[in-house]
Structure 1
Amino acid sequence: MIGKLSTFLNKNSGFTRYLKNTSWLMGEKVLRLLIALSVGVWVTRYLGPEQFGILSYAQSFVGIFSALSSLGLNDIIIRELVKSEDRKELILGSSFGLQTLGSSVIMLILIVNIYYNDNEPLTNKIIIILGLLTFVNSFNVIASYFHSQVKSRFYAMAGLVGVFISALLKVYLILGGYSLIYFVYVLAFDVIFLCSGLVWFYMKSGQSLFAWKFSWPMAKNLLKDAWPLILSGIIVSIYMKIDQVMIKEYLGNSEVGQYSAAVRLSEAWYFIPTIICSSLFPAIINAKLKDDTLYMERLQKLYNLMVVLGAVIIVPVLLFSDWMINILYGEAFQRSAGVLNIHILGSVFVFLGVANQKWFISENFQAYNIICLGIGMLANIALNILMIPKMGIMGAAYATLVSQFMASVLAPVLFTKTRNSFYMMLKALFFVQVFKKGKLV
């Protein structure tokens, strides 16, 4: 097997190049995960449920509107740069201008909300700081440029250095007994350092920000292609963040802290299906062009793999959740264990959903993807309204689990064109043909 893989890589230098590019992204994500499970957990434990709840609420509230900043342009930028690299200054300049405009809209929304809400002054201050950071994030168009050039190592290197410095600063703040707002400043430093690193690598490679040009015709063309991604991004943002916002409104900051501590452990693994599916997606598209039977076989194997990976994560968490929460967060967060047990079950649906989105793209069914996500979002909001007042944070966990199943697995059965993916996911969930003679097939 190893010999075959080696021969394949030698004969496919282009594939090797993309594999190395992906490995940089994977390495950066793994390191971030390790730091999150060490320093990040220490920060959570240090802040306690109340203070951590304030931070989590502010992040979730701003996160709901984050899609208005990126405008779903990242993948569109990559596609356009690959097609027309000679127009990169026009593409990057127009994208940067659009994202800056989107950040301005976000700030307007946040300022109006702060004027009318009854949050604590500290909460509103954190919301404003996080909102301002969306302007800095506009420089992430440079990351799209590096991805288009298969040079993701520059993005990863900037991120790796930044995350190390950020971790050291957080340890210093903990040992020094600093208050919550200083940890917010470190979050701001994280974003600013990453974007500064991208700018530095961009200029070092011989490029210039001053060569960027904004063009309304280019901007309109980008938005024309990106609007489905903008809509789906808004839906996903609401879908993923609304529970913590609603918990704060119903139950208060401390309950948000208990819930968020569990959610961060559960969601820490979500980068795995994203990277794996992105890496395998070209092979699936290639199979679709050659043979429909091979195409369906590879899709089924991808769904099978997602379920197996989900199970590998879920089982240990269910067995050791109480111990994990006590060791990582301490007794103050003990009620987070019950939330973790429920929330982690949704991982398998999230993993399948990521794979299914690739199928939507390969079949050009993006509109159906938006509808399915919308069904999940509406279900999540409705279930949270019904269950949080009665069951507290456990109700929010159950609402998330059910809505993830509806959006990722159940919704495709509603439409004739997407029903086949529902059957494939169902086969994977019930391990039908997942294992054959003890081997994953």
Structure 2
Amino acid sequence: MNKRILSNSIWMMSEKIISLFGLIFVTSFVAKYVGAEVFGQIAFATSLFQIAMIIAQLGSDVIIFKRVSKKIDSGVRLITSTIYLRAITYILTAIPIVIVSYEKNDVNALFFIIACAISCFFNAMDVFGIYYDARLESRKNTIINMLGLIISLSLRWLIAFVHLEPVYLCLPIILTGFIPCAFRWGLFRKEHQFDSIKLKHKIKYMKYLLVAGLTFVVSTISVAIYTRVSMLSLGFFYDKSIVGVFSIAVSLAASWSFVCNSLITSSLPSIFSEKNDSVATHKASKLNLLVVIISLPIILSTYAFGSMIINALYGEAYKAAYIPLMILSFSTMISSLGVISSRFIARYSGYAFLSKKMFAILIFSLAVNIPFIYMYGMCGAAAATLLTELFSLTVFNYLFRRGLVLKMHLQTFIPRAGNR
């Protein structure tokens, strides 16, 4: 790993350390104050609008990342020309969610729903972070994100500390999405003071995003739903307090994923730009091994100290999160490995395959989650999540180009396997 990639990874990790601090000290404090029921309402609402946010991006995360990695100016024009397309898509997707949620929840829950809708709108617009990640300039992302996190987390802590009504948490929820988006947009405009793009050219870029992203639409929708099926199904079969406890397990299990994801994101440009297929496969396999080496000690530590951490941070009301936490910790490692495999497939322009695969995974996830959750509750939700991630990483990926991903996986642990 070269010095620039390592530096970029460290900057990305430093941002997530602030997030981890917020999870440990602020979120736990707020969760204790508002209780599992209200905390579950917030988690459930966030899951719903994150789906709308992912749909609104129309697969632009991969398309923009790849375009910026190869042609910066073209990537910049693509970003600025498609803002309104993302905005309209999000609004059209979010409105039905608000309407349905209004009919099924009380007034207090509706406040959280609207706040999450607004926050996720700004997240959907904020594709500028993708640009800086692709340029290996994550330092800028980190500084902006840390500023937003510090303000938002401070407000959450203050609201809980002075015992204000939980509804006031709507303000920091909105600011979580607004502050990074506003600052990043301002910085992006300052760095790229180009002439206004003509309408016909904007339309051309929007058509390109729609056409190029068409193969991602089913994929992104499938990902958006299948990664949240457990949370949504728990909300359907059980009360929101169960969702609140499970969301703590999910948050803690994913709290260390930033280490792997930072290294993955920083390494992807070199894999995308590598012209030699064998070298690209070797780089991807080394990245797999690095993820496993980082993950296993953390998973063992979670097993040893997880119960104590939950009790110390969140209290007795959340102690049932321990077993799901253990299962989901393995899921976090598998998910990180899945990101590498998906991007490896994207390098070979396997977008159509990814689209079909993610739709199949969605069906598989629904088929596994519903009975597991109905019979085993939170533990069933965690087990279904792990099983889905495992099948997504292996069985479904191995169908691409006669086992190309399988060869890459074998090369991770048996270096000579990829040459056979």
TM-score (norm. length: structure 2): 0.88
> Residue deviations 1:188-213, cap 9 Å, x none?
012222122123324544738x9465
- Equivalent residues of 1:158, 1:198 under 8 A apart: yes
**In structure 1, how many angstroms separate the alpha carbons of the residues matched to 2:259 and 2:352?**
25
Q: Look up the equivalent residue of 1:346 and give its one-letter code.
A: S
Which of 236, 250, 253 is matched with 2:223 structurally? 236
- Equivalent residues of 2:218, 2:359 under 8 A apart: no
Higher relative contact order (CA 8 A, sep 6+): 2
**In structure 1, how many angstroms separate the alpha carbons of the residues matched to 2:284 and 2:73?**
36
Change (3 A) 1:305 1:114: same
**In structure 1, how many angstroms separate the alpha carbons of the residues matched to 2:270 and 2:70?**
20
Which of 298, 315, 330 is matched with 1:313 structurally? 298
Q: Look up the equivalent residue of 1:389 and give its one-letter code.
A: Y
> Residue deviations 1:400-434, cap 9 Å, x none?
11111111122223x26252423553675xx6679
Which of 262, 272, 275 is matched with 1:289 structurally? 275
Alpha-carbon offset, residue 249 of structure 1:
1.1
Superposed, which structure 2 residues align to 1:315-330 within 5 Å? 315-330=300-315
Q: Look up the equivalent residue of 1:107 and give its one-letter code.
A: A
Q: What's 1:439 paired with?
A: none
> Residue deviations 1:101-134, cap 9 Å, x none?
112212332244235x422222233222222334
Q: Look up the equivalent residue of 2:302 and give its one-letter code.
A: V
**In structure 2, how many angstroms separate the alpha carbons of the residues matched to 1:148 and 1:354?**
16
Alpha-carbon offset, residue 305 of structure 1:
2.1
Which of 298, 303, 326 is matched with 2:288 structurally? 303
Q: What's 1:65 paired with?
A: 52
Which of 14, 20, 34 is matched with 1:47 structurally? 34
> Residue deviations 1:129-172, cap 9 Å, x none?
22233443354144345456554433322211121122221221
Q: What's 2:19 paired with?
A: 32
Change (3 A) 1:76 1:369: closer
Indicate yes or no: 2:153 matched with 1:173: no
**In structure 2, how many angstroms separate the alpha carbons of the residues matched to 1:45 and 1:205?**
43
**In structure 1, how many angstroms separate the alpha carbons of the residues matched to 2:27 and 2:57?**
25
Q: What's 1:252 paired with?
A: 239
Q: What's 1:422 paired with?
A: 406
- Secondary structure in 2 aligned to 1:289? coil
Q: What's 2:114 paired with?
A: 128
**In structure 2, how many angstroms separate the alpha carbons of the residues matched to 1:277 and 1:89?**
23
**Count of aligned positions:** 414
Q: Any gaps of 5 or more consecutive residues in structure 2?
A: none
**In structure 1, how many angstroms separate the alpha carbons of the residues matched to 2:25 and 2:297?**
21
Indicate yes or no: 2:200 matched with 1:216: no
> Residue deviations 1:210-255, cap 9 Å, x none?
9465522221012211222333221111011121111111011111
Q: Any gaps of 5 or more consecutive residues in structure 1?
A: 10-15, 435-441
Indicate yes or no: 2:389 matched with 1:404: yes
**In structure 2, how many angstroms separate the alpha carbons of the residues matched to 1:45 and 1:98?**
40
**In structure 2, how many angstroms separate the alpha carbons of the residues matched to 1:282 and 1:418?**
25
- Equivalent residues of 1:273, 1:354 under 8 A apart: no
Q: What's 1:207 paired with?
A: 193
Q: What's 1:12 paired with?
A: none
Percent identity between the two aligned chains: 24
Superposed, which structure 2 residues align to 1:25-174 within 5 Å? 25-80=12-67, 90-114=77-101, 117-147=103-133, 150-174=136-160
- Secondary structure in 1 aligned to 2:82? helix
**In structure 2, how many angstroms separate the alpha carbons of the residues matched to 1:49 and 1:396?**
18
- Equivalent residues of 1:346, 1:404 under 8 A apart: yes
* Higher Cα Rg, which structure: 1
Alpha-carbon offset, residue 56 of structure 1:
0.7
TM-score (norm. length: structure 1): 0.84
Indicate yes or no: 2:345 matched with 1:360: yes
- Equivalent residues of 2:47, 2:231 under 8 A apart: yes
Change (3 A) 1:150 1:211: farther
- Equivalent residues of 1:22, 1:275 under 8 A apart: yes
Q: Look up the equivalent residue of 2:106 and give its one-letter code.
A: E
Task: After superposing the two structures, state which structure 1 stretch, 71-80 or 373-382, moved more.
Answer: 71-80
- Equivalent residues of 1:89, 1:213 under 8 A apart: no
**In structure 1, how many angstroms separate the alpha carbons of the residues matched to 2:126 and 2:169?**
23
**In structure 2, how many angstroms separate the alpha carbons of the residues matched to 1:153 and 1:231?**
33
- Equivalent residues of 1:90, 1:213 under 8 A apart: no
**In structure 2, how many angstroms separate the alpha carbons of the residues matched to 1:250 and 1:181?**
25
- Equivalent residues of 1:375, 1:407 under 8 A apart: no
- Secondary structure in 1 aligned to 2:126? helix
- Equivalent residues of 1:409, 1:422 under 8 A apart: yes
Alpha-carbon offset, residue 311 of structure 1:
1.2
Indicate yes or no: 2:329 matched with 1:344: yes
Which of 339, 364, 387 is matched with 1:379 structurally? 364
- Equivalent residues of 2:66, 2:272 under 8 A apart: no
**In structure 1, how many angstroms separate the alpha carbons of the residues matched to 2:28 and 2:353?**
38
